Every structure is written in C-alpha cells, then in structure tokens.
A and B are shown apart, each in its own frame.
Chain A
Amino acid sequence: KAGVTQTPRYLIKTRGQQVTLSCSPISGHRSVSWYQQTPGQGLQFLFEYFSETQRNKGNFPGRFSGRQFSNSRSEMNVSTLELGDSALYLCASSLSRAGTGEKLFFGSGTQLSVL
C-alpha cells in the first residue's frame, strides 16, 4: 500500500508570493491533517480535513488555508509569504477523523524556503 504522498518535496519562494502544497493520503484514509515543523517551535497543528470539510484548526493566521477533494486528496495554500513561513510542512492521513484516537501517518513533507 502506498504511503502518504506530498508534492513538491522542495520549494523556494520569495516574500509576498503564494504557494500551494499537495497531499495524497493512504488509500482508504479519509482524514488529512497538516502540520508545520520548525526547529524553534517543533510540530504545530495547522488544520484537519475530513469529508471535504475543515474539522479543526490551529492558531495560524488566515493566510494559511486548505481544502480537501472528494477523493480525499488535500491541498494547502499559503498566501503573502513571510520569511517566518520557512518550514517543513507535513501532511498526515488517518482512516477516520483525527481526535477520535486515530493513528496519524505522515508523508515525507514539503520543505519550503522563503527568501
């Protein structure tokens, strides 16, 4: 069974630009969660999507948004990029809604650098 697939693997952008990251969950998994990982803050929860609806959201500004499609694939968008957005963005999938004790399985991540 294929794991969680994230594209692209690396991305370099400049301040003010926007970026879209993609995540394909494990086959049969219906929930996708997004995390930001930085050396200073560690892993921080961004949001969770289940059945094409955002079910939970972390403490990030509105520049961070996402969506989920009917095939459970998800995209995350960051607009008006800032230097502080440089991070590893990780997507994780679970069989059902996270928060119900579901185990999360992570993709390889997208390393975003903002110059």
Chain B
Amino acid sequence: QKEVEQNSGPLSVPEGAIASLNCTYSDRGSQSFFWYRQYSGKSPELIMFIYSNGDKEDGRFTAQLNKASQYVSLLIRDSQPSDSATYLCAVYNQGGKLIFGQGTELSVKP
C-alpha cells in the first residue's frame, strides 16, 4: 500500500463547476497535510495546507481533513481553465518525511 494515494485522473470538469480532488494516507500518526499544484514543465507550488480536522477555505479553494478516515480532499469552486494542472497531495509521515501522492491531473474545459 502506498503511503499517499490519489486518483491519477484525468479529472475533467466544465468551466464554473466544482472540482473535487481526493487523497488517502496510510500513516495514522500524520499531522500535517498539503496540496501543491504543478503546471506542465513547472515545479510544484503550494496552494493549501491543513493541520486540523474539518474545512479550511482560501478563496476558491477548500481543503477538508478527516483524520479518522485518513482522508484529505481539495475542492476548487468556480473552476477556470487556468486551474488545469496536476494536483499533488503531500503528507508528513511520523518519520518526518513529506511524502507525495502520484498526483491528479485536472482538466477544466471552457
């Protein structure tokens, strides 16, 4: 079992819709969770982080964390074509390493 798992996609949504990206992790002791966005040919860019159970909102982005289910998600409201990218979920394990999922490719169609 991989430490951090994501659906690879591609996930295709129409412009203006809500995109929902999901991630599960295996280390029950993990405390810190991150979402990075990576455009093709570019490096990962931090867009959200969450440490506590529940929701955290920042503009059009909402991160949701459920530690009991070992599940973290990212919602993108009013999706725009410029949101088309690969979204990487990252989790610190108890060994102190930031482990990345394989990423979910998002495509927002005009």
Q: Which residues of chain A have a CB within 8 Å of any CB of chain B?
A: 33, 35, 42-45, 48, 55-56, 58, 90, 97-101, 103-109
Contacts and interface: CB of A to CB of B under 8 A. Distances in A.
Contacts of B45: 106
Interface string B98-110: 1111110000000
A101 B100 CA distance: 14
Contacts of A90: 43-44
B46 to A, nearest CB: 6
A107 B34 CA distance: 17
Interface string B73-96: 000000000000000101010011
Given A42-B102, A43-B88, A108-B43, A103 B97 contact: no
A56 B100 contact: no
Interface residues of B, number: 23
A107 B45 CA distance: 9
Contacts of B34: 103-104
Contacts of A45: 97-99
Nearest to A6: B43
| Shortest Cβ-Cβ A-B pairs, 7 listed | A99-B96, A101-B32, A43-B100, A106-B43, A42-B102, A45-B97, A106-B44
Nearest to B34: A103
Contact of A103 (B46, B99, B101): B46
Contacts of B90: 104
Given A45-B99, A56-B96, A97-B96, 20 more contacts: A42-B102, A42-B103, A48-B96, A48-B97, A56-B97, A90-B43, A90-B44, A99-B92, A99-B96, A101-B32, A101-B51, A101-B92, A103-B34, A103-B46, A103-B49, A104-B90, A104-B98, A106-B43, A107-B43, A108-B43
